[in-house]
Amino acid sequence: MSEIIDIHPHIVSPDTARYPLAPLGGKQSTWSSERPTTYQQLLQAMDAAGVAKAAIVHSSTAYGYDNSYVADAVEAVPTRFTGVYSIDVMAPDAVKTFDHWLGRGCSGMRLFTTGSTLPDQATWFADPRTYPFWEHAAAKNVPVCMQMKQEGIPLLRQIMDRFPKVTIILDHLSRAPFADGPPYSAASDFFALAGYRQVYLKITPINVSPKSWGKGTPETFFGKLIETFGAPRIAWGSNFPNSVGTLSEILGAAKRALSFAKDSDQEWIFGKTAQLLYPTLAGR
């Protein structure tokens, strides 16, 4: 297998004076307080796991919209890191802020529309006040990760219909349901998104290691995922250290879950799709 790339690790600094906490939702996430991980520690974990490069996802549940720590990490190790940032896309100066972080090593954006500190599915990402952001993301060819639930799919469709050139990455497969088993009718709205060629998928431990697969299995669910979207539109992310376990253990679980797939498909999922989404990780 060619080099492995992780497009969803997080970092949190213990230096709260230099990097003050200001979590979205007003409450710091449990994982970021219990398992703060510096970029140096991430590098050590990557080396131990055999992960070559990473697109570090800004920790919104620790720092809100201040992306300084991820930016500093990318600046320190540009040969192995790129950054996926978060900004207030409703703000009047969103495009200016976008370009600021773009100039500091940003090659991806992320909208945190739901999560551990904000459990409800937000709707603001489709507000007309966000349109300048979406237009700019499309113009700059910067992919936008969507941290969202299935309930947000209708609004996401509205955005993609309006901005067909913007690249969308669905974090954690937008938590698509799988417990009903094949043919996965409960996830029909999710699988229908394959018709939008701008949609890419991110497989993380939330999808790989659920509490129960119900009537589903990794082979039938991920098999349908690959058949429907194609492996070149799927990438792996560790969610480390949010997800419990070492990076080696997390990667091992993902490899086992996808071991049924063709070698060529695994090449895409564990590296080549990441290079497509974040060309800086391919040295381009």
Per-residue pLDDT band at 2 (split at 50, 70, 90): confident
Instruction: Give me the domains of the chain, ranges plus CATH numbers.
Output: 4-282 (3.20.20.140)
Provide the CB-side half-sphere exposure for 118 (13 A, CA): 18
In angstroms, the CA 244 to CA 239 distance is 9
- pTM for this model (two decimals): 0.95
Pick the closest to residue 152 from 129, 177, 121 (CA basis). 121
pLDDT computed for residue 112 by the predictor = 87
Q: Is the pLDDT of residue 284 over 60?
A: no
Weakest-pLDDT range from 29-33, 69-73, 233-237: 29-33
Q: Is the pLDDT of residue 116 over 80?
A: no
Per-residue pLDDT band at 72 (split at 50, 70, 90): very high
pLDDT tens digit sequence for 158-182: 999 999 999 999 999 999 999 999 9
pLDDT computed for residue 276 by the predictor = 97
Strand 51-57 and strand 81-85: pairing? Answer: parallel
Please give the average per-residue pLDDT across 147-155, as a whole number. Answer: 93
pLDDT tens digit sequence for 249-276: 999 999 999 999 999 999 999 999 999 9
Pick the closest to residue 156 from 118, 111, 207 (CA basis). 111
In angstroms, the CA 10 to CA 70 distance is 9
Number of other residues whose CB lies within 10 A of the CB of residue 255: 17
pLDDT computed for residue 153 by the predictor = 95
Q: Is the pLDDT of residue 283 over 80?
A: no
Per-residue pLDDT band at 114 (split at 50, 70, 90): confident
Residue 84 and residue 56 in contact, taking contact as beta carbons nearer than 8 Å:
yes
* Percent with pLDDT over 70 in the chain: 98
Q: Is the pLDDT of residue 1 over 70?
A: no
Using CA atoms, how far residue 190 sits from 79, 85, 133, in Å, is 35, 25, 24
Per-residue pLDDT band at 25 (split at 50, 70, 90): confident
